[in-house]
Structure 1
Amino acid sequence: MAHLTLHYNRSPEKLSVEHVQNYLYHCQKLHKTPSESFFKHTIFGLRAAYKVMGMEAKRVALPQIKRDIKLPCVLNKEEVKRLLKAPKYLKHRLIIGMLYGCGLRSYELCAVKLSDLDFERKTVFIPKKKGKIDRYVPLSPLLIRGLKKYITTENPQGHLFNSQVSKAGESRGLTTNGIRWIIKENRSKIGSSKQITAHTLRHTFATHLLEYGVDIVSLKELLGHAHIEMTLTYLHVANLPSGSKFSPLDKLYD
């Protein structure tokens, strides 16, 4: 804002839309300064100033800032199989299985209670949190079989997965740090150089479902996304039949 004022020696509210756009064009073309970050913050500052001043027309005329799309890390099917087999304990295998098989965020899995499971309907209820929406996600028969065995032998209380009990003897739910530790302990066993986290399994869930033919709107609901734009990112990752991706080397010697 201050740089814009100094550039024209006039207050921003007295500048025309053309003046502002010319200055922003000038910012983009400079090689050394200001940086791209400076360009973005100039627009954010102008938007805030014009909003306070009630100058909506000038605010709307400002260019849109496009977010850089960072494609997620995704495991292939064999890597998922190896990761599911890696843990020594059934509980840990089920935690990894729920992250991949249900596409849950770490904090959502920590919050799952025994009462949220419906083995007959093969679903698990995920209550809304942090502005998200309530949803039901499918529960695989493979998970149901393992969960029934785990519940019978471990007898969890309240939450599906318990952590250490409190000093008063009360059962506590699994923590995100606990999930992080389980992933860290087992990712080195599968022979992959990928940076695997709990959220990698959610990305893999979404990508594999797209490749199996699930439509983007249904996927949005399964993931609990508030906006479809968040879900569209997975279209850049999935190998979809309608637009199969291949290397030109595959055709070079045909």
Structure 2
Amino acid sequence: MKKLDLKNDCIGKNPIIRIEFPYDFELKELVKQFPGCNWDIKKKVWWVSYADNRLTELITFFKGKVWLDYSQLKKVEIPKAQPVLPPLIASLEIEINKFEDWMRNKRYSESTIKTYKDAVIIFLRFLENKAIVEIENEDLEKFNKEYILARGYSSSYQNQVVNGIKLFFQNRRGIKFNPEIVYRPKREKLLPNVLSKEEVKSILDSHQNLKHRAMLCLIYSCGLRRGELLNLKIMDIDSKRNILIIRQTKGKKDRVVPLSPKIIELLREYFKAYKPTIYLFEGHKSQGKYSEKSLESVLKQALVKSGIKKPVTLHWLRHSYATHLLERGTDLRHIQELLGHNSSKTTEIYTHVSIRSLQKVWSPFDDL
């Protein structure tokens, strides 16, 4: 009889039960049928929320179908439910809408507008719809301690919230809140995730579907962000000059990257087969651009076919592109321009994951 291993884990601060098993299509389809079962993209595992009676439910559901090994499953304390925040009142909704219009008029990106708007909304709801003119800096400190830190959110999220709240109050007059004395938290210094050239080749060669292969190859060969690939139009490819024009990317900038002869040949083959009309990569049933969700699915399928177990994302291909350029001796300034970074400090992080210099380092262990 097939076996499922049940283990403890957490998502954020919420306890879960991992359901582990070697890949088996029929077993996967059975596990999916358990009520409330989810697939975690990052952890690459099926899971259900933890509850005192969850094991009994699992045993009842899978009885006679599979053998459950719950020897590693332990009883855990379930954290108290977080208080529900009140909905935003109408007068504050009007202020939020004005703020949204102001950002859009200032040509902020739609993703930034949504992030900042959501940040201000959750802040005002946390303060239980306190009048804007009565909000003080101490309220933000309380929000940071009792909402952001209490829920274990990252410093990156905290920075986004602070940025949104500061911008909102910079556009208000006659208030007690002073945005100028608000300080942002220190960012975590995380190294980029990089794949070996062999791993990249395995991922790129995994798809027989020409469109899927072309999308992944173009991301790696040009160091593209996900949105940059999906926003590409046919006119952005200059095959005579062997360049790709990436228009109005992060920071409202255009940039140019070189196209290798191999990628141009692949794109020509793709173009003949699919005949896109406006966007370089279009949806199956329309002339609109390919969806983000579908592109992520393309990568997931490639990882399964290539047998790579790492929690690879599309951005890993961009990181790998930059690191592999550096390892081949490309000047850091050129890499900065190719990636579209404003600051050279952003690009310098790849020097910490490049193995070109590390391979020259002698280890004293070799002399023992």
TM-score scaled by length of structure 2: 0.50
- Contact preservation (8 Å) 1:110, 1:161: yes
Give the aligned residue type for 1:86: S
Shift of 1:193: 2.5
Shift of 1:218: 1.0
- Cα distance in 1 for partners of 2:240, 2:365 equals 47
- Contact preservation (8 Å) 1:106, 1:176: yes
Say whether 1:252 aligns with 2:367: yes
- Cα distance in 1 for partners of 2:297, 2:305 equals 14
Give the aligned residue type for 1:203: H
Residue in 1 aligned with 2:149? none
1:1-254 matches, within 5 Å, as 66-166=186-286, 171-241=287-357, 244=359, 246=361, 248=363, 251-252=366-367
Say which structure is richer in strand.
2
Shift of 1:176: 1.4
Shift of 1:53: 9.4
- Cα distance in 1 for partners of 2:256, 2:209 equals 27
Give the aligned residue type for 2:201: K
Q: Deviations over 1:78-120 (max 9, x none)?
A: 1111111101211111111011000000110001111000111
Say which structure is richer in helix.
1
- Cα distance in 1 for partners of 2:267, 2:183 equals 52
Local SS of the residue matching 2:280: coil
Local SS of the residue matching 1:135: strand
Cα distance change, pair 189–173 in 1 and its aligned pair in 2 (3 A): same
Q: Unpaired runs of 5+ in structure 1?
A: 1-34
Larger relative contact order (CA 8 Å, sep ≥ 6):
1
- Cα distance in 2 for partners of 1:148, 1:125 equals 17
Shift of 1:67: 2.0
- Cα distance in 2 for partners of 1:225, 1:109 equals 17
RMSD over aligned CA atoms reads 3.5
Cα distance change, pair 249–163 in 1 and its aligned pair in 2 (3 A): farther
Spell out structure 1 runs of 4+ moving beyond 3 A: 62-66, 243-247
Give the aligned residue type for 2:224: L
Local SS of the residue matching 2:277: coil
Count of residues in correspondence between the two structures:
209
Cα distance change, pair 218–132 in 1 and its aligned pair in 2 (3 A): farther
Shift of 1:214: 1.2
Local SS of the residue matching 2:257: strand
Give the aligned residue type for 1:131: G
Q: Unpaired runs of 5+ in structure 2?
A: 1-151, 167-175
- Cα distance in 2 for partners of 1:201, 1:53 equals 43
- Contact preservation (8 Å) 2:195, 2:317: yes
- Cα distance in 1 for partners of 2:355, 2:228 equals 28
How many percent identity over aligned positions?
A: 37
Shift of 1:149: 1.1
Cα distance change, pair 65–244 in 1 and its aligned pair in 2 (3 A): farther
- Contact preservation (8 Å) 2:243, 2:257: yes
Q: Deviations over 1:181-224 (max 9, x none)?
A: 10011112223222111111011011111111112111111111
